[in-house]
Structure 1
Amino acid sequence: METLNTLLNDLESKIEYSDCINIHVSQREVSWHMAHSLKVVGNIIKALQNSNPEEYHWQFNRNRSFVYILNHIPRGKGKAPKSVLPADDITIIQLQQELNTVRQLVLELEHLNPKSNFKHPYFGQLNLKQTKKFLDIHTKHHLKIIDDIIKKNRPT
């Protein structure tokens, strides 16, 4: 999972900007996007670990195909489930702790059955390979938002 680890390192490098916000980019501050991304990765890996590989059955999904081909999630088109919505008061210490937890979970991905799976609200049932791709795309999506927030907060 070199790509996901690289993305987590990129997220970590942005912690110093956690309080930045720009409502023209997002209604949420950098820390919210970071915490959300980490919750998504952590919760999905836990779902994969607890899944029954025998229950996985591939099915075509237009939304998934569109996003996976473009390698991009359009902004403002999805709504995060409550289970991955972070609290409003996110501290740097909490972000660092969550990063450490998620890094440990990412290491465990390599030991899972290829048919480990979870049900995504828009993309349907995803196996391990599809999930890894989703986690990369989703994390990159929020990193781009974070970068745009930071860019708009820097003096010119």
Structure 2
Amino acid sequence: MTNRSLQKLQSLLLEIESNIINKNIKDSSISKATVGWQLDHSLKVFNVVCEVLAESNPSDYSSKLNTKRWLIFTLGTFPRGRAKAPQKVVSKNINISEKELHQRLERAKTGLNIIKTLEPHAFFKHHVFGNLSKKQTMRFLEIHTNHHLKIVREILCSH
């Protein structure tokens, strides 16, 4: 993993941490969800992806050309409101506590430290993008986390 991707992910986790105090803020014209929901979802994805990556068998890794992955990774952004997240990472709880968010954040920091030590062909199988190597997984986490933090920034700027 490159230092740049590691620093970027650490920076995004710090931004999540700094916004936990804003968890109850909402602007329905930007998102149906609160800031807390956006943070919770980002952390859930981060943690699940880190776990799957750590549990993968690098010798099972194979890569295929995926045009959607190529496009999204090149643009560095997801189109808003187009994707459907797996239920495992969608929070049904609209009253997420600061304690829960801090616990998920600490787990994400630990996960990031663990994946630093993994082999380059450790992988995460994404439901749309296919098998993502460790490097590609870091890029996915960066794009996904930043996508939700952009929504958070817009919500906060509207208040």
* TM-score bracket relative to the smaller structure: over 0.9
1:125 corresponds to: 131
SS in 2 for 1:40: helix
**In structure 2, what is the Cα distance between the partners aligned to 1:78 and 1:125?**
18
Residue 64 (structure 1) shift: 0.5
Q: Which runs of 5+ in 1 are unaligned?
A: none
Q: Which amino acid aligns with 2:120?
A: P
What do residues 35-57 of structure 1 show as CA deviations (whole Å, max 9, x unaligned)? 10001111001001111111111
Q: Which runs of 5+ in 2 are unaligned?
A: 1-5
The 5 Å alignment of 1:84-95 reads: 84-88=89-93, 89-95=95-101
* Identity %, equivalent residues: 36
Q: Which amino acid aligns with 1:125?
A: N
Is 2:35 the counterpart of 1:30? Answer: yes
SS in 2 for 1:26: coil
**In structure 2, what is the Cα distance between the partners aligned to 1:113 and 1:38?**
23
Q: Which amino acid aligns with 1:76?
A: G
**In structure 2, what is the Cα distance between the partners aligned to 1:109 and 1:58?**
19
- Find the partner of 1:67 among 72, 76, 82: 72
The 5 Å alignment of 1:7-156 reads: 7-88=12-93, 89-152=95-158, 154=159
Q: Which amino acid aligns with 2:33?
A: R
Q: Which amino acid aligns with 2:147?
A: H
> Normalization by structure 1: what TM-score?
0.95
SS in 2 for 1:14: helix
